[in-house]
Structure formats: structure tokens, C-alpha cells
């Protein structure tokens, strides 16, 4: 039996799920985000004066509209505050704190082997920590708020085995784009992808979250990585208690296995939100595509390890005239860490902007001006036209190092040979 199947069995109080298509399970923690606060109305309509089933297993995060850009978004904040007060909630991840995934970890709530349900499509990022992390719709979240339970489809589990050591300068986002480019994505719909192999085993916790986050854009149920010893120690440091992982049985038979040599990965770039046009950066470099703006951060790539390559690329330098590079750490914890490491001072000296934590430009909640006409390089998810609330500007997705190198050079440039 796979670890995911064991988790489902435990939370469904079943010995086996063999032959089952759908099953009702207990949810260990439910997260509601401010973008989906119409869920509150759905919850309140279920029954007059209904209370949240378990206040210790529910949290609400104000990360999309942080900082609140309009009077309307401040109204959303008032609805959230009312729910928190009425239910005496312990976990309100308020404005200015960062993305909910980071706050979930910082609040000592991330625990391997648990089922986490959120309305955010980027929930599978937590699968990198050995969590069965699921995205749900408005009715799913409202039902879980009221009952502490949800239904789910018993998934097929696909193994993606990644062996070998990547070249220096290759990021988890480069590696993820490489896998997405080469895998048969038509065979992944509503399945769980488990990433295995020596590349995964060597990954730290932050890199696992970054890697899994990108795959949430595919039509998968979720992503999963069995927690390594380093990840278990990371969770134990965060939570102050010992973590007992749930592991798959030896010899478990996956529905399908894909295998890739990670030593072959080079800097990658996606030119389309459906990931049907992923190229190597080298292929585009010869086209001399002008770049005057880059954005780095949010939940996809706002970890300290995602920001550090920018520091390495720009320290002691100054951005070219009429160019903009914006950094958005995923949380205030990461922002403080970057300050202590000297990153923020170097960014200020180079003319790089560091803005408030949260979803920011990924959702078009910007605090800075956009360039006109030239493509924008970003390492956030969803690069369809208008995503950053600017039409007729192309968005390309690449690693932090590729973005920083390209903005400094003024055109799409490979950061390593």
C-alpha cells in the first residue's frame, strides 16, 4: 500500500480502499483564502448560526489582497474578521504576513502524513513535505468548515523518478520545467505524482515546496514526496515535536513510472501558460529578445533559496536604466532572513525593488509600474496574458537566476554555459 493510501485509510477509518472510487475522509486542516471568501456565505447558508466544526483545524489567510489595494478588498477583510471573531479562531494569517503556505509552516501546522484542504490551486506545494495536500472548490471548503470532512477520488499514483545531480546554477524551477516538457501530461489527469530518486532525496524542504508548486498547474490531484531525514528534522525544528512519517510498502506498484536524468537539465523557460512551449534559455538567447522587467517571488519562488541567486547575480552592480527587477519574499520570516543575510541592502544598492509579502504581481496586485511592450520574465505560476492585469504584454517563466541575468543584460540570457 502506498503512503497516500494509508493516509486515506486512516482518515476514513478503513482498513482498505481497494476497489473504491470515492471516499469520505476526515480533514486534518482546512485553509480558506481571502480570494474565495464567498465560501463564507456558502458556509453560513448551510444552517443559521452555524459554527466551524473544529476551530483548531481551520485557518484563514489574507494573502491575495495583501496589501489591500482597493476599498472593496478592505470590505473582504471585514468579512474575514467577522468570521474569525464569531468562531474564536486561533489561526488567522493576516495581511502583511505572506502566502498561506509559508504561514501554515510558520504556525507549526505542517505535519507529514496529514490531509490538508485549501481553496488555493497551489496547495500541492505542501506535498513536498509529505503532506496529502488537496485543492477544493467553494462547496468543498464550506462542507469541511461545517463537518471537518470532505470527499475525494481515490487516486492512481504515478512515479516520476529523478536521478542524477544537476549542474551548478540549475534551480528546482528549471528541473520542474524540464520534467513538464518531457512527460506525457495527458496521462496525469487527476492522478497523484510521487517524485522519487536521488535528486529528490538530496532536496531540502524549501526546494521541494518550490518544485511541487509548479506541478499544481497541471491537471493532477496533487504531488507527493516521501519526507527525507532532512525534511523530518526541518519539520521537527519548526513544530517542536517528533514527526513519524507514513511510508509506502516496499515493492508498491505504481500505475506508471517515468524516469529522467537530472544531469541533463539546463536553464529552461516557458513561453506559454499551458506549458506547450517550453524551451531551453539557450534557444532563445540568439533571438536577442529585449527584457526590461523581471518579477521574482510569491508562493512559487519566494523562498530564500529562490532569492539568493538574485543576490549573487547583482551584488556590486546597478540595474540598467529603465529596467525594473522586483522581489517579493513569500513571507515576513523569509524577508527578515534575507535582511539578515544582507540581500535587501544589496538590492537597494543595485536599484532592485523589494515589495510587501503575499501573492503580489502573480495576481496583479502590484506595487510598481510595468514596462510597456517588452515581455516580463517571472518565476510565478500562470503566465497567460493579463495575469498581471496588464494586457498585450507577454509573460515568460524562468528561474530567478535566468531572470536576474536577463534583466542585467537587457535581453533573455542563459545564466550558465
Tell whether the model's pLDDT for residue 299 goes beyond 90.
no
Mean pLDDT of the chain: 88
Angstrom distances, CA of residue 405 to CA of 69, 291, 292, 411: 31, 10, 11, 9
Instruction: State residue 38's pLDDT score.
Output: 84
Instruction: State residue 367's pLDDT score.
Output: 54
Share of the chain above pLDDT 70, in %: 89
125-163 pLDDT tens trace: 999 999 999 999 999 999 999 999 999 999 999 999 999
Question: Looking at residues 96-121, what average pLDDT do you find?
Answer: 87
Tell whether the model's pLDDT for residue 66 goes beyond 70.
no
240-252 pLDDT tens trace: 888 888 999 999 9
Tell whether the model's pLDDT for residue 389 goes beyond 60.
no
| 3-state SS track over the chain | CCHHHHHHHHHHCCCCCCCCCEEEEECCEEEEEHHHCHHHHHHHHHCCCCCCCCHHHEEEECCCCCCCCCHHHHHHHHHHHHHHHHHCCCEEECCCCECHHHHHHHCCCCCCCCEEEECCCCHHHHHHHCCEEEECCHHHHHHHHHHCEEEEECCCEEEEEEECCCCCCCCHHHHHHHHHHHCCHHHCCCCEEEEECHHHHCCCHHHHHHHHHHHCCCCCCEEECCCCHHHHHHHHHHHCCCCCCCCCCCCCCCCEEEEEEHHHCCCEEECCCCCCCEEEHHHHHCCCCECCEEEEEHHHHCCHHHHHHHHHHHCCCCCCCCCEEEEECCEHHHHHHHHHCCHHHHHHHHCCEECCCCCHHHHCCCCCCCCCCCCEEECCCCCCCCCCCCCCCCEEEECHHHHHHHHHHCECCCCCC
Task: Spell out the domains of the chain, with CATH numbers in brackets.
Answer: 3-262 (3.30.499.10), 269-409 (3.30.499.10)
pTM listed for this prediction: 0.92
Instruction: State residue 8's pLDDT score.
Output: 96
348-383 pLDDT tens trace: 999 998 877 666 566 556 555 455 667 888 888 766
Amino acid at each position: 500500500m502506498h503512503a497516500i493510501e494509508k493516509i486515506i485509510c486512516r482518515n476514513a477509518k478503513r482498513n482498505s480502499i481497494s476497489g473504491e472510487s470515492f471516499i469520505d475522509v476526515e480533514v486534518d486542516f482546512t485553509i480558506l483564502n481571502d480570494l474565495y471568501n464567498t465560501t463564507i456565505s456558502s458556509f453560513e447558508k448551510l444552517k443559521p448560526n452555524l459554527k466551524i466544526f473544529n476551530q483548531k483545524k481551520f485557518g484563514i489567510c489574507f494573502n491575495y489582497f495583501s496589501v489591500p489595494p482597493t476599498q472593496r478588498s478592505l470590505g473582504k477583510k471585514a468579512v474575514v474578521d467577522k468570521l474569525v471573531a464569531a468562531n474564536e479562531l486561533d489561526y488567522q494569517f493576516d495581511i502583511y504576513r505572506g502566502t498561506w503556505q509559508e504561514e501554515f509552516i510558520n504556525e507549526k501546522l505542517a505535519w507529514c502524513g496529514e490531509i490538508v484542504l485549501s481553496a488555493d490551486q497551489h496547495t500541492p506545494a505542501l506535498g513536498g513535505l509529505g503532506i496529502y495536500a488537496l485543492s477544493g472548490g467553494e462547496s468543498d471548503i464550506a462542507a469541511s468548515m461545517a463537518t471537518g470532512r470532505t470527499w475525494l477520488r481515490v487516486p492512481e499514483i504515478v512515479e516520476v523518478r529523478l536521478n542524477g545531480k544537476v549542474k551548478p546554477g540549475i534551480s528546482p524551477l528549471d528541473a520542474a520545467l524540464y520534467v513538464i516538457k518531457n512527460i506525457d501530461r495527458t496521462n496525469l489527469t487527476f492522478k497523484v505524482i510521487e517524485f522519487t530518486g536521488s535528486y529528490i532525496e538530496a532536496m531540502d524542504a524549501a526546494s521541494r515546496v518550490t518544485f511541487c508548486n509548479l506541478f499544481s498547474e497541471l491537471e493532477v490531484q496533487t504531488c507527493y514526496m516521501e519526507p527525507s531525514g532532512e525534511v523530518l528534522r526541518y519539520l521537527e525544528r519548526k513544530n517542536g515535536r517528533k514527526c513519524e512519517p507514513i511510508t509506502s510498502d516496499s515493492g508498491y506498484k505504481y500505475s506508471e513510472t517515468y524516469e529522467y536524468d537530472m544531469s541533463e537539465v539546463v536553464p529552461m523557460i516557458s513561453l506559454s501558460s499551458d506549458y506547450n512551449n517550453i524551451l531551453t534559455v539557450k534557444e532563445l538567447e540568439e533571438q536577442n529578445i529585449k527584457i526590461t522587467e523581471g518579477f521574482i517571488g510569491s508562493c512559487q519562488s519566494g523562498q530564500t533559496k529562490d532569492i539568493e541567486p538574485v543576490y549573487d547575480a547583482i551584488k556590486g552592480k546597478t540595474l540598467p536604466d529603465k529596467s525594473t527587477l522586483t522581489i517579493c519574499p513569500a513571507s515576513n520570516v523569509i524577508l527578515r532572513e534575507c535582511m539578515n543575510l544582507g540581500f535587501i541592502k544589496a538590492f537597494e544598492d543595485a536599484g532592485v525593488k523589494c515589495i510587501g509579502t503575499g501573492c503580489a504581481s502573480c495576481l496583479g496586485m502590484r506595487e510598481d509600474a510595468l514596462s510597456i511592450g517588452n515581455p516580463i520574465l517571472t518565476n510565478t505560476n500562470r503566465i497567460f496574458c493579463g495575469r498581471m492585469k496588464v494586457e498585450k504584454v507577454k509573460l515568460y517563466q524562468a528561474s530567478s537566476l535566468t531572470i536576474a541575468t536577463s534583466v542585467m543584460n537587457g535581453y533573455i540570457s542563459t545564466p550558465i554555459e
